[in-house]
Structure 1
Amino acid sequence: MRIAIVLLIFFYCSSVSGQNKPLLYNVDDLPQALLQNPGARIDFTRHFGIPLFSQIHFSVGSTGVTAKDIFEDDGRNINARIQSAIRNLTSTDFFSINEQIEIVSFGWKMGNRGYFSAGAYQEADIFAYFPSDPAKLAFEGNADYIGRPFRFDDVSFTGEVLTVYHAGFNYKMDSKLTVGGRVKLYSGIFNVESTNNKGAFVTTETPGGVNFYQHAVNGLDIVVNTSGYASLRDEENMTVDQAAAELLSRSFFGQNVGVGVDLGFHYRVTEQFSVNAAIQDFGVMFHQKDIENSRYFGSYETSGLQPLFPELNPGQETIPYWDVLEEELDVNLQDDKTFGAYNTWRPLKYNASIQFGTGKSILPCDYLISKKPRYMNLFGMIVSGVNRPKGPTYGVTTYWDRKINDYFRFRVAYGLDQFSRTKFGVMASSRFKNFNAYIAVNDIIGYTNLANAHSASLQLGIQYVFKDL
């Protein structure tokens, strides 16, 4: 039973990590750069994405454990491998998945300095800290932890599936500064949140007491908020097609909604050196429909069962000890279900970078080169992060971006974050006339052995990009 509980915890967390896309950041001839920094410096005048294929992004990560740690055949039984993994994990270790599919994307130049872009994409973001203390209690029990509290604030996770509709404007203030902003409307499909939980379970010795030990649950307060879940669970005989149709209908503002903004800038300090920064998803979701919230709270102390063995008269029953204990638990540790609205902040993302260009391109009869110089080699560093319930996650990436010609470029990168200290990535973008295709793969070393990888990330897409009207 203990194995089943812990495996459930592992696979729940693993199936339910970062969002930033450093391999596409600052790529001036890809429209996706505007989704990361609406104030990015761009090198195109129109774009139109192939619906559902202009951007497909998927990333997954685990900071403390891999599949190999649990299932590797190293001579130990699975109990020993699970116990070792649990003891190595802490409450700040986390698991995450992020998925994004661009439904539609388009944009065009407005005047001499402006660029308007808009579109819609579907996103799923699931993030869970490892519940260290509850996992240890479930798997190992409390015999070896007398006097040590098991804290329930280790339980912290969020998950959401939503559709994002957006419109942005990029404006070139002068030859040095470009700024931009993007307005977003969120249509919530599903949400679950359990953060800021409280309480602890502790067992203490009681010499001279009724029993040897006393068990106490102190200040327990665990809340799980959900939207978009109760109606699907309560619907009887719902087929997969019906469930899919219901979820699709929610993406068009049929359920919960929210608003947000992206802001960014790009500043060319010198002809070769530039700096830029951006924030994404500074926004909030308002959950008001299809709400179901569960709360488990209270305090309770017990010294265990104290059985008595009195002489019984014919037909007299013994004291129902377990029933009495269950009644006491129900009175002191209450389970409450509510249906009130709640709000959640979107996970705020931020990026900042510096970039230096070398190898100035001088093409025959290129009379614009003095106004718009192009460098074939770009070297840069990006600092990125995402706000999470217990603090921001982070990453640093350095890269070399090489423009071979007007039709092909690639980027190689090395980064480090909370998942890996050896994160190598590569991006390639190719254009045939106005048709563009790109692919970016991060943490290439992990792809050689996915079972032992702490993270993996893949982005690809196809679209039409125009440089001249």
Structure 2
Amino acid sequence: MGKRILILFIFASVIGYSQNRPLLYNVDDLPQALLQNPGTRIDFTKHIGVPFFSQIHVFAGSTGVTTYDVFSDENPNVNQRVQNVMNRITSGDYFSINEQLEILSFGWKIGARGYISAGVYQELDVFAYFPKDPALLAFEGNADYIGKDFKFSDANFTGEVLTTYHVGFNYKVDPKLSVGARFKLYSGIFNAESTQNDGAFRTIETPNGPNFYRHEVDGLDVVVNTSGYASLKEQESMTVDQAVAELLSRSFFGQNVGVGVDIGFNYRITEQFAINASIQDLGLMFHQKDVENYRYFGSYETNGLEPLFPELNNNQATIPYWEVFEEQLDANLKEETTYEEYNTWRPLKFNASFEFGTGKSILPCDYLISKKPRYMNLFGMLVSGVNRSKGPTYGVTAYWDRKVTDNLRFRLAYGVDDYSLTKLGLMVSSRFKNFNIYLAANDIIGYTNLAKANSASLQFGMQFIFKDL
């Protein structure tokens, strides 16, 4: 089973590099803001993304450990480096990889108050909690942990690759309130998840028993569900490159489907002060094709091998202790493969922010704001997060958004989350007539030494954006 899971993660890592994107949230002259909040205020009347280049987003991060901690040359003893990491990291620490590629993106104004946007994007999302107890047991053994429960529930991960087809509608109710919703159809390419594991291993002292210690596996139940993997596994000679090519061939029409919605709003309390919020990917995936699930379950206890030394003649074989032990394990700890359909929730994302403007300016082309004053400096705070199997992960970001000219804008942000307490971000958006290009990088301090960084995030895109005068 371990080899199978390793192969799954290799496939995922080859295809692409959490998901919170505070640098583009509520940026009213970028269409990508509609993907984070379909109810956000916008100031354009049409957009067409450059295919495959309107948004490229990559993110990788880990809490509790960096690449430098494991591969640093300061301590030549690699075992000691791993030991130090094992002592510091907890079962609540996690690793995350997210990649999103916008294949198509377009939108246009409907009537005086509405805006329709639609498109297609491919996404990879891998999220794994650190399996503290199983890793500790494998690396250090049980000699120093007599009486401790090593919990198999620490093994908890999800990984998926999918394509999303979406259409959204943004509507300005009145000069103060705008609302929006987006419908999504998910096309699954690959999925692997193991989030409901149970059971424990322990070693107990038994001074009055047949041995000094008794080893117990209690209530073991480990399940790994997969879709889109079994057909790859069946081809023994398939290389990693061939497997990646096969997965990419499913990008537009995967084997499994799902549905979801985004909803959001923006409300201007006063001329200068506004609040907004959204939820994304309130949806469900139905895994019905190319499904293969692995389960390892049971309970077992042993006092160890009790060798006997009977007198044997030349025709008698010694007792096959190890074979007997393996038979006992197989009888009590069972492994099975099933092909049952299963469902998974998409990782629900949530955003909420407030914003205060200064430096009044009039932008007559801002049709959705109905020629209301536009503030050249926007100061805001955003709380955003993603719901995961052990609870939400979230961050808080404060930002200064500056409209330098009608064609140049930047946002400087400072954030705090599980990855870093010093997350500095910068977004720059520039427009040349109707052609727009933007670049956003988060955790800029970490870019000075990526080996020591807990996370890195980069977004880039280009598109044509039109404003009716």
Specify the TM-score bucket, using the shorter chain as the normaliser: over 0.9
Equivalent pair of 1:14/1:96 in contact (CA under 8 Å): no
TM alignment of 1:412-431, pairs within 5 A: 412-431=412-431
Cα deviation for residue 252 of structure 1 reads: 2.9
Query: Deviation digits for residues 312-368 of structure 1, max 9, x if unmatched?
Result: 022100110000000000000000100010000000000000000000014799999
| Residue aligning to 1:93 | 93
Equivalent pair of 2:43/2:366 in contact (CA under 8 Å): no
| Residue aligning to 1:31 | 31
Q: Please tell me the residue identity of whatever aligns with 2:133.
A: D
Cα deviation for residue 30 of structure 1 reads: 0.1
Equivalent pair of 1:126/1:160 in contact (CA under 8 Å): yes
Equivalent pair of 1:362/1:369 in contact (CA under 8 Å): no
| Residue aligning to 2:256 | 256
Cα deviation for residue 87 of structure 1 reads: 1.1
Equivalent pair of 1:285/1:343 in contact (CA under 8 Å): yes
| Residue aligning to 1:182 | 182
Q: Please tell me the residue identity of whatever aligns with 1:142.
A: N
Cα deviation for residue 247 of structure 1 reads: 2.2
| Residue aligning to 2:337 | 337
Q: Please tell me the residue identity of whatever aligns with 1:290.
A: D
| Cα distance in structure 2, aligned partners of 1:111 and 1:340 | 48
Query: Deviation digits for residues 279-333 of structure 1, max 9, x if unmatched?
Result: 0000000000001100000000000000000000221001100000000000000
- Structure 1 residues 242 and 68, CA gap change in structure 2 (3 angstroms): closer
Determine helix, strand or coil for the equivalent of 2:247. helix
TM alignment of 1:34-113, pairs within 5 A: 34-113=34-113
Query: Deviation digits for residues 220-260 of structure 1, max 9, x if unmatched?
Result: 00000000001011124446675455323423334000000
Determine helix, strand or coil for the equivalent of 1:86. helix
Q: Please tell me the residue identity of whatever aligns with 1:61.
A: G
| Cα distance in structure 2, aligned partners of 1:319 and 1:368 | 85
| Cα distance in structure 1, aligned partners of 2:49 and 2:391 | 35
Equivalent pair of 2:11/2:240 in contact (CA under 8 Å): no
Q: Please tell me the residue identity of whatever aligns with 1:315.
A: N
- Structure 1 residues 243 and 363, CA gap change in structure 2 (3 angstroms): closer
| Cα distance in structure 2, aligned partners of 1:365 and 1:13 | 47
TM alignment of 1:237-256, pairs within 5 A: 237-238=237-238, 243-256=243-256
Determine helix, strand or coil for the equivalent of 2:135. helix
Cα deviation for residue 76 of structure 1 reads: 4.2
Q: Please tell me the residue identity of whatever aligns with 2:402.
A: R
Equivalent pair of 1:298/1:332 in contact (CA under 8 Å): yes
- 1:267 lines up with 2:300 in the alignment: no
Determine helix, strand or coil for the equivalent of 1:215. strand
| Residue aligning to 2:154 | 154
Query: Deviation digits for residues 175-213 of structure 1, max 9, x if unmatched?
Result: 000000000000000000001100000001100211111
| Cα distance in structure 2, aligned partners of 1:345 and 1:364 | 43
Equivalent pair of 1:14/1:62 in contact (CA under 8 Å): no
| Cα distance in structure 2, aligned partners of 1:356 and 1:427 | 19
TM alignment of 1:217-366, pairs within 5 A: 217-238=217-238, 243-362=243-362
Determine helix, strand or coil for the equivalent of 1:68. helix
- Structure 1 residues 131 and 267, CA gap change in structure 2 (3 angstroms): same
Query: Deviation digits for residues 101-151 of structure 1, max 9, x if unmatched?
Result: 000000000000000000000000000000000010000000000011101
TM alignment of 1:379-458, pairs within 5 A: 379-458=379-458
How many percent of aligned residue pairs carry the same amino acid? 73
Q: Please tell me the residue identity of whatever aligns with 2:203.
A: T
| Cα distance in structure 2, aligned partners of 1:337 and 1:242 | 25
| Cα distance in structure 2, aligned partners of 1:357 and 1:339 | 56
Determine helix, strand or coil for the equivalent of 1:374. strand
Q: How many residues were matched structurally?
A: 463
| Cα distance in structure 2, aligned partners of 1:385 and 1:198 | 27
Determine helix, strand or coil for the equivalent of 1:392. strand
Equivalent pair of 2:134/2:154 in contact (CA under 8 Å): yes
Equivalent pair of 2:365/2:371 in contact (CA under 8 Å): no
| Cα distance in structure 2, aligned partners of 1:455 and 1:181 | 31
Determine helix, strand or coil for the equivalent of 2:277. strand
| Residue aligning to 1:213 | 213
| Cα distance in structure 2, aligned partners of 1:313 and 1:368 | 97
RMSD between aligned residues = 2.3
Equivalent pair of 1:13/1:128 in contact (CA under 8 Å): no
- Structure 1 residues 171 and 369, CA gap change in structure 2 (3 angstroms): closer
- Structure 1 residues 289 and 368, CA gap change in structure 2 (3 angstroms): closer
Q: Where does structure 2 lack aligned partners over 5 or more consecutive residues?
A: none
Determine helix, strand or coil for the equivalent of 1:361. strand
Determine helix, strand or coil for the equivalent of 2:391. coil
| Cα distance in structure 2, aligned partners of 1:303 and 1:49 | 66
| Cα distance in structure 2, aligned partners of 1:13 and 1:353 | 37
| Cα distance in structure 2, aligned partners of 1:233 and 1:13 | 12
| Cα distance in structure 1, aligned partners of 2:437 and 2:54 | 9
Q: Where does structure 1 lack aligned partners over 5 or more consecutive residues?
A: none
- 1:170 lines up with 2:190 in the alignment: no
- Structure 1 residues 364 and 198, CA gap change in structure 2 (3 angstroms): closer
- Structure 1 residues 363 and 347, CA gap change in structure 2 (3 angstroms): closer
| Cα distance in structure 2, aligned partners of 1:335 and 1:243 | 26
- Structure 1 residues 241 and 274, CA gap change in structure 2 (3 angstroms): same
- Structure 1 residues 137 and 245, CA gap change in structure 2 (3 angstroms): closer
| Cα distance in structure 2, aligned partners of 1:369 and 1:461 | 25
